[in-house]
Every structure is written in C-alpha cells, then in structure tokens.
C-alpha cells in the first residue's frame, strides 16, 4: 500500500490499543496539529483509523477576573475596609467605607450587591455594618479565580462557576479533543508494509514544463480540517442596508437626490410651512452654525414662501400671521431632516425633472439635538422620498411602503394618523421588532399641503416621507439598541456576522 508521507507518519504514530490525541501525534511526528487532523480524517476515510471526538468545557479568566485576582474582589475589599473601620461593632457611613476600600465607578455597585449576596454584612439607611463572623478567605469565588490564575482547574461547585460567568469574570467555552486509534485494517496495512508517496500540494510551472506532473500524487483538499477563522474586510451593516435601500428604490423607479448637510433654515423649515416660532426651530433642537447666511436663494421663491407664512396660500388659505424674518430664513444649520433636499428638488433649482409623474429619493445623514438613548442618535440616516403625480391618496402612500418594506421581508407595517405642519393627511409608520415584539416607529409621511407645493410652483399632488434607516436595520438584523449598530458599544461579532436581507 502507498500513502502520502504525512498520512503514513500519522498511521505509524497511532496505536491500536491506546487512544492518541492529535497533540500527542503532532508532537511525535513534528507535524502541525491541523496537518495531523487532515491526515487523520483521510486515514479514517480509508478505513485505517478511528477518530474520536470529546468535547470539554474550557474556563478562562476575563480581564476583569484577572484584575480581581490581583486586587481582590470588590466585595471583599469592601468587607475588609469595613472591618478596618470597626463596622463589625457599629455601622459606619457607606461613603467612608467605600473611600477606605478605594472603590471607584462601577466597582461600587459590584461591591455592594455581592457584599449583600455573600452575607458579608448589611446596609441600612446609608450605613454599612459587617458581620465579624463572615470569612472572605473561604469564599469559593475567590478560590476559583485564584486556581484559574495559577493554571489549575478550580475545585468548586458548578454553581460558583455559573456565578462567575454571569459576573463576567470567567469565560466558559468549549474545546474539542480529537484522538485516534488504529482499526484492524490499519494494523494489517502497517504489518504488510506501507510506502510513502510524495504528494504535491500545488501544480507549479516547473511540474508542468517537465511533464513530471503526470507521475506525482496530488494531495486532496480536506474541507473538514480545522483552519483559523479569517475575518476579512467587510462593508458595515448600515452601509449595506443603505445600499440595499438604494437598489430597491431605484428598482421602484426613483432617482437619487443630493444636497448640502449644512443648509439654510429656508430649505430646512420655511419651505415646509414650519412657523418660525415652532419649538423644533429653537436653538435647543437644532445645530446652528456660526457661518455667514445663505445668499443664493431665488428672491421670487422667498417672497412666495413668506406670503404663504403670512397670509396663507390658495383661496381659503390662512397663514400664521406670525412674525417671519428673511434673516432667520437665511441662517445656516445642520439639516434635521432631508426634506430640505425634497424642497430643493421640487423648487426646480436642483435641475430635477418636474413633469409629473416623478419619483425621487435620498439615503442621507441628518442631525438632531436629541438625547442619546436606545432608539435615538444625534445623527442618523433618513430615507427620504417623494412621488409627484395627479390625484394621489393615502392609499398610494400605504401601497408604496408595503411594496418597499416587503423587499426586506417586513410585511406587518402599521400606520397611525399623525400631524406635520407640512403634510395633510399625515401618518407615522410602525414595525414590530423581531426580538422584543415592540412596535417601533420607523417613519413619518404624508401628502404635502398646498402651502408647501404652491410657493414651489408645483401644481399637482406630492406624497412624501422620511424613514429611519437605523430602525429598518434594527428590524432586519434584530439589533435591540441603535447603539449596537454603530459607536463604541457595537459588538464586533455582530458587525462581522449581521446579514442584510435580500
């Protein structure tokens, strides 16, 4: 029998009576463990070896766990500080004990909750007392951490390990140990004699030129061999979602809009019939920029927008009769929505085609002075869009959204009547989060009022919307917090593996 060299080496190192692990064979043959695994599987396929697999739990200290091995568990430090201040005799103010224990930041909460759990003492009205009989030296959690630090297997109850795992002090993993034994056929082969064939892993120009390739034996691919995971470069899940959104909208016949991130209040708000004293226009909500005002706005358009604000538009129109300042309209801020782009395009200054029917969109960043929380970022992406046609109704809007979201596998969009100063009727869109089951707001929409389209010179219906790209990504990836998608909290594994639905 002839076998490739490395298979022969593994066969010779294996035994019919003792299980030999891959590592033992690697050490004996001088082959790399992954090479041994590959050869072992090949020999198994030839019926010469049996490969056994045993899964073992692995335990490793986390960085935090390692820190406590050196510094002591926070609750133990709290206990010892309490003892030093005689809190076993009389309660001592918590602030003093915490100071004495030199606990900082999150360590304080960790110390307090575990201190109580372990019965080290009690906390009452801001004072801490310690139980003189408690014995932190006998604490199995500390003992397990110390054993792991010393490279030994901790001799403690499984519950202690679970506790350390949930505290994030140890990482529980799994490792597979493979071992091999010779089969009868393997023993026979060795007895009758096996010769090594030289195997070639790759065809080279030399092999081809010399014709030697005819005689050599090529090693086979082993798709079961362990191999290191290679994480290549990848587009961010949000960028991929944005690309997908663009594909879908282009497929639905839309053209893309572009325009400035920093724009005049005129395009961001005044064109939208947003009164100048609207709360969203105060300095609390917008990021105003300290730069010179915008000069290049068509005069005629300014006059018409001003007229809509002051006196209304159309026969039964009635404006706000509130102050309107051109100076304010020319001030620059970061756009709070991309509806500024829709205004620019609908006004004709961006060179859009305006003969109905028309469809335009953008997937662009907007900026709002919100409070950061699980569903709000200070900057995020809006999927803006509008359709211009004769006689549009809410049904057209609902149908457009249903068609759009269906492309992402979302078929349970819900609609809720809403109010915008610039659309009538208006409604908000909600989608159900796949993990939490919560209804989250994913967009806002409506049909532009005459006070908006009139001054722009548009005399047919325009339905429009602003959808949140991050929320769409939350629905498609199951991310529960917007900060899981970008920023420092985003989990690298999630970013590596998250898929965008197609």
**Nearest distance from C-beta of residue 280 to ligand PHE, angstroms:** 10
Query: Which residues 226-265 are close enough to bind ligand PHE by CB under 6 A?
Result: none
**H, E, C per residue of 265-330:** HHHHCHHHCCCCCCHHHCCCCCCECCCCCCCCCCHHHHHHHHHHHHHCCCCCCCCCCCCCCHHHHC
Residue 106, burial from CB neighbour count under 10 angstroms (0-12, 13-18, 19+): exposed
Residue 271 corresponds to which tokens in the numbers above? Answer: 């064109």
Size of interface with ligand PHE, in residues (CB under 6 A): 10
Q: What is the pattern of x (binds ligand PHE, CB under 6 A) and - over residues 465-494?
A: xx----------------------------
**What is d(CA 1, CA 192) in angstroms, rounded to the nearest whole number?**
8
Residue 142: enclosing H or E segment and its boundaries?
A: helix 140-149
Select from 35, 76, 163, 420 the one that contacts ligand PHE (CB under 6 A). Answer: 420
| Contact range with ligand PHE by CB under 6 A, out of 41-49, 85-93, 243-251, 460-468 | 460-468
Q: Does 423 bind ligand PHE (CB under 6 A)?
A: yes
**Nearest distance from C-beta of residue 130 to ligand PHE, angstroms:** 56
Identify the sign of the CA torsion 31, 34, 35, 38: positive
Select from 114, 163, 183, 339 the one that contacts ligand PHE (CB under 6 A). Answer: 339
| Contact range with ligand PHE by CB under 6 A, out of 28-36, 283-291, 327-335, 458-466 | 458-466
**Nearest distance from C-beta of residue 447 to ligand PHE, angstroms:** 8
For 272-292, give one letter per residue: b (16+ CB within 10 A) or e: bbbbbeeebbeeeebbbeeee
For residues 330 and 335, which CB has a smaller minimum distance to ligand PHE in the complex? 335
Q: Which residues contact 235 (CB under 8 A, 6 or more apart)?
A: 243
The pairing of beta strand 217-218 with beta strand 199-200: parallel
Residue 495 corresponds to which tokens in the numbers above? Answer: 């970013």
**Nearest distance from C-beta of residue 285 to ligand PHE, angstroms:** 12
Q: Which residues contact 270 (CB under 8 A, 6 or more apart)?
A: 276, 305, 309, 324, 329
| Contact range with ligand PHE by CB under 6 A, out of 137-145, 251-259, 438-446, 479-487 | 438-446
For residues 162 and 379, which CB has a smaller minimum distance to ligand PHE in the complex? 379
**Nearest distance from C-beta of residue 326 to ligand PHE, angstroms:** 23
Structural contact between residues 385 and 405, judged by C-beta atoms closer than 8 angstroms: no
Cα maximum dimension of the chain = 106
E strands present in 410-477: 414-420, 423-432, 439-448, 461-468
For residues 37 and 452, which CB has a smaller minimum distance to ligand PHE in the complex? 452
CA-CA distances (angstroms) from residue 454 to 40, 92, 304, 423, 463? Answer: 78, 73, 8, 13, 14
| Contact range with ligand PHE by CB under 6 A, out of 97-105, 132-140, 216-224, 464-472 | 464-472
Residue 228, burial from CB neighbour count under 10 angstroms (0-12, 13-18, 19+): exposed
Identify the sign of the CA torsion 253, 259, 262, 267: negative
**What is d(CA 420, CA 446) in angstroms, rounded to the nearest whole number?**
8
Select from 7, 114, 445, 477 the one that contacts ligand PHE (CB under 6 A). Answer: 445
Structural contact between residues 480 and 434, judged by C-beta atoms closer than 8 angstroms: no
Distance of CA 35 to the CA centre of its chain: 36
For residues 179 and 339, which CB has a smaller minimum distance to ligand PHE in the complex? 339
Structural contact between residues 447 and 468, judged by C-beta atoms closer than 8 angstroms: no
Q: Does 444 bind ligand PHE (CB under 6 A)?
A: yes
**Nearest distance from C-beta of residue 449 to ligand PHE, angstroms:** 10
For residues 46 and 441, which CB has a smaller minimum distance to ligand PHE in the complex? 441
**Which residue is nearest to ligand PHE, using beta carbons?**
466
| Contact range with ligand PHE by CB under 6 A, out of 158-166, 247-255, 326-334, 443-451 | 443-451
| Contact range with ligand PHE by CB under 6 A, out of 59-67, 77-85, 163-171, 440-448 | 440-448
For residues 219 and 423, which CB has a smaller minimum distance to ligand PHE in the complex? 423
For residues 114 and 423, which CB has a smaller minimum distance to ligand PHE in the complex? 423
For residues 228 and 279, which CB has a smaller minimum distance to ligand PHE in the complex? 279
| Contact range with ligand PHE by CB under 6 A, out of 35-43, 120-128, 243-251, 461-469 | 461-469
For residues 114 and 420, which CB has a smaller minimum distance to ligand PHE in the complex? 420
Select from 82, 186, 275, 446 the one that contacts ligand PHE (CB under 6 A). Answer: 446
Q: Does 453 bind ligand PHE (CB under 6 A)?
A: no
CA-CA distances (angstroms) from residue 249 to 41, 47, 389, 445, 465? Answer: 50, 57, 17, 16, 13
What residues line the site for ligand PHE (CB under 6 A)? 337, 339, 420, 423, 444-446, 464-466
């Amino acid at each position: 029998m002839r076998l490739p060299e490395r298979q022969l080496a593994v066969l010779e190192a294996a035994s019919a009576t003792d299980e030999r692990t891959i590592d033992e064979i690697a050490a004996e043959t001088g082959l790399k463990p992954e090479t041994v695994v590959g050869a072992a599987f090949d020999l198994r396929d030839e019926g010469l070896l049996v490969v056994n697999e045993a899964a073992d739990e692995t335990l490793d200290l986390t960085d935090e766990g390692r820190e406590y091995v050196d510094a002591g568990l926070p609750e133990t430090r709290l206990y010892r500080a309490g003892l030093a201040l005689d809190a076993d005799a009389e309660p001592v103010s918590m602030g003093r004990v915490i100071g004495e224990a030199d606990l900082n930041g999150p360590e304080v909460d960790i110390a307090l909750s575990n201190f109580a759990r372990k019965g080290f003492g009690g906390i009452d009205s801001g004072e801490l007392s310690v139980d003189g009989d408690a014995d932190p030296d006998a604490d199995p959690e500390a003992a397990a951490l110390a054993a792991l630090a010393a490279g030994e297997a901790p001799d403690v109850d499984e519950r202690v390990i679970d506790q350390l795992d949930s505290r994030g002090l140890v990482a529980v993993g799994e490792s597979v140990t493979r071992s091999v034994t010779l089969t009868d056929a393997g023993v026979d082969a060795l007895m009758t004699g096996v010769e090594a064939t030289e195997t070639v892993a790759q065809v080279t120009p030399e092999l081809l030129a010399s014709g030697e390739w005819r005689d050599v034996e090529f090693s086979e691919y082993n798709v079961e061999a362990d191999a290191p995971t290679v994480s290549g470069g990848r587009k961010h899940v949000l960028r991929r979602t944005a690309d997908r959104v663009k594909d879908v909208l282009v497929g639905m016949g839309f053209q893309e809009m572009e325009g400035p991130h920093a724009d005049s209040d005129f395009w961001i708000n005044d064109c939208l019939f947003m009164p100048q004293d609207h709360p969203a226009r105060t300095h609390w909500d917008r990021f105003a920029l300290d730069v010179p005002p915008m000069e290049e706005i068509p005069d005629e358009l300014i006059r018409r927008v001003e007229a809509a604000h002051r006196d209304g538009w159309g026969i039964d129109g009635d404006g706000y009769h509130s102050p309107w300042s051109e100076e304010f309209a020319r001030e620059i801020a970061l756009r709070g929505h991309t509806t500024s782009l829709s205004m620019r395009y609908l006004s004709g200054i961006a060179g859009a085609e305006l003969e109905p029917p028309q469809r335009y969109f953008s997937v662009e960043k907007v900026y709002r002075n919100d409070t950061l929380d699980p569903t709000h970022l200070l900057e995020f992406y809006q999927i803006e869009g509008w359709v211009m046609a004769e006689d549009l109704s809410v049904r057209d809007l609902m149908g457009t959204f249903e068609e759009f979201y269906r492309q992402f596998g979302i078929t349970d969009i819900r609609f809720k009547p809403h109010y915008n100063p610039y659309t009538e009727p208006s409604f908000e869109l909600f989608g159900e989060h796949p993990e939490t089951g919560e209804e989250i707001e994913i967009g806002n929409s409506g049909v532009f009022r005459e006070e908006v389209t009139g001054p722009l010179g548009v005399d047919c219906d325009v339905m429009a919307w602003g959808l949140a790209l991050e929320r769409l990504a939350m629905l498609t990836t199951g991310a529960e917090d917007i900060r899981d998608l970008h920023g420092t909290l985003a989990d690298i594994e999630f970013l590596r593996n998250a898929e965008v639905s197609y």
